[in-house]
Amino acid sequence: MSDNSGVTGYIQHHLTHWRIGDGFWALDLDSLAVGYLLGALFCLIFWAAARRATAGTPGPLQNAVESLMEFIDGICKDTFHEKSNLVAPLALTIFVWVFLMNLMDLVPIDFAPDFMGALGWDYFKILPVVNLNVTFGLSLSVLALIIVFSLYYKGPGGYLKELLFHPFGPWLLPFNLLLNIVETLAKPISLSLRLFGNLYAAELIFILIATLTLGFGSSWGEMLTSLSGITLLIGQTILAAVWAIFHILVVPLQAFIFMMLTVVYLNMAAEHH
């Protein structure tokens, strides 16, 4: 690393979205494109599994899909105590979609920016969940479902009564209302920040590992003919491999936590106090 400004520019470049517009009307096209493509891939995989499903000996794809569905269905039955035909499919969708988006963090850090740069786009982030707009958008959907479930299972009167009288009774009505509003809003905020923070930190570490050999630019000959270059390259390779192996655990774990907390929140919304 011979140029601190080069390192700073490299990091900023990899943390910048492909964006059009300004302010509220800004669109991060890279996050939208990758998110929609992964959602379509999820639908395609499950459609292919359903089309090839057989009562005889199942293939690997059918086995994997059925095992995943049984696993999530079991979690929903244990966690959500009311009757609903929506919770299990919702949990499956959240887990697989968030998992696929998280998985993009294992794509080599320079691949997407270099590939899209060759096509004429200066910036492109292939990891949608490091965009707070994406994680907060997902959590806002969960917030809407929390309100819908509360109204459906408790009725408008029951939900209003809970907001006003729970947990301290009618004598502290204003405090009850404020407490319940804060609790309701904290759920989507914590969901979005948890997913964003964990994946953002992981991506940033990958970027920092990539800067170890940045001082050599694209000169592989210079790097491989100097002791410092070879040492940095070996260290970079080991660190990247170790962090990628560790991150293989983080990718499904964060998807599972987002899915599990969603089911828990919906169960809390459906319960009668």
Q: Which of 262, 134, 136, 247 lies closest to 199 in space, CA to CA?
A: 247
8, amino acid identity: T
DSSP conformation letters of 25-72: G-EEHHHHHHHHHHHHHHHHHHHHHHHT--SSS--HHHHHHHHHHHHH
SS3 of residue 125 by DSSP:
coil
Strand segments, DSSP code E, in the chain are 19-20, 27-28
Catalytic machinery residues: 190, 194, 198
Output the CA–CA distances (angstroms, integers) from residue 113 to 2, 54, 119, 121, 152, in the order listed.
Answer: 22, 42, 10, 8, 46
